[in-house]
Amino acid sequence: MSVLRPLDKQPGLNTATILLVGTEDALLQQLADSMLKEDCASELKVHLARSLPLPSNVNRPRIDLIVFVVNLHSKYSLRNVEESLHHVDATFFLGKVGFLITGAGREGHCSIHWNTVVRLARTYRSPLLFCDLEVEGFRATVAQRLVRMLQICAGHVPGVSALNLLSLLRSSENPALEDV
C-alpha cells in the first residue's frame, strides 16, 4: 500500500506499535533500544524505516504512532521527512503523528533553522519534541515520553484518546483557534 492508514487493521491484543522514520539509523536504533528498556504494561513493537512508503510485502501490525525524526544538522533528513509525509493518510494526523527534532544542542552545526521545523509541525498540527538523541539521559527521557504517547495512541489508556492528547499538548503559544 502506498498510503499508511491508521485504522485499517485490527489492533493486536495488548500490543502497541510505533514507527520511527528518519535517516539517522544509529540514532533510531539507540532510541528504539531505550524505548524497549522502558517499563511498560503493554507489549511494545518498534519499527524503523528510512522513509515512506513502506514495502508492501511485509506483514506488519497496525501502526499506532509515527514519529518523524529530523536532524537539524542535515537538510537531507528534513527533505526525506517531507517527502515521506505525502505517504501518510490525513486521518493519521489526528494525534498519531509526532515530530522529534535532534541536534539542536550544537548551534554551530545546524543547517536548518528551528523555525522551519516549528512551522512544519504547525502545518501538520502535530506535537513537536526536541531532544538530543546522542545524550543518554535525554534519550531515556524522550523514550519515556514516547512510550506514554504510544500507549495512549494505541488505546491502552482508558479515558484518553490520541485526539485528546493532541489537544492537551497544544501549548499556549499556538492556540487551537489559529485560522486554518
Partner 1 sequence: MEKQPREQAVTEPADSGAGGEEGGSPQVAGAQTARPQDRLTLLLRLRAQTKQQLLEYKSVVDANEEKTPEQIMQDKQIEAKIEDLENEIEDVKIAFEIKKLALDRMQLSTALKKNLEKINPKTSVLMDNMKHVLKLNKLIMKSQQESWDLEEKLLDVRKKRLQLKQASEGKLLEIQTEKNKQKDDLASMENSDKIKTIQQNLQMEIQITTVIQHVFQNLILGSKANWAEDSTFKETVLQLEKNLTMM
Q: Which of 2, 26, 41, 115 binds partner 1 (CB under 8 A)?
A: 41
Cα–Cα distance, 50 to 25 (Å, whole number): 8
The 78-117 contact track toward partner 1, x by CB under 8 A, reads: -------------x--------------------------
Q: Which of 30, 38, 73, 125 binds partner 1 (CB under 8 A)?
A: 38
Cα–Cα distance, 75 to 63 (Å, whole number): 27
C-alpha dihedral, 173 to 114 to 142 to 42, nearest 10°: 80
Angle (CA) 74 103 136, round 5°? 135
DSSP 91: G
| Between 137 and 159, CB nearer to partner 1 | 159
Number of residues that bind partner 1 (CB under 8 A): 40
Residue 92: what are its φ and ψ, rounded to 5°?
Answer: -65, -30
Single-letter code of the amino acid located at 149: M
Q: Are the CB atoms for 101 and 72 separated by under 8 Å?
A: yes
Counting contacts by CB under 8 A, is residue 173 touching partner 1?
no
Q: Which of 42, 74, 89, 104 binds partner 1 (CB under 8 A)?
A: 42
Burial class of residue 88 (count of CB atoms within 10 Å of its CB; 0-12, 13-18, 19+): buried
Residues 43-62 that bind partner 1 (CB under 8 A): 43-55, 58, 60
Counting contacts by CB under 8 A, is residue 39 touching partner 1?
yes
| Between 44 and 100, CB nearer to partner 1 | 44
The residues of the shown chain that bind partner 1, judged by CB under 8 A, are 7, 11, 13-14, 32-33, 36, 38-55, 58, 60, 91, 154-159, 161-162, 167, 175-177
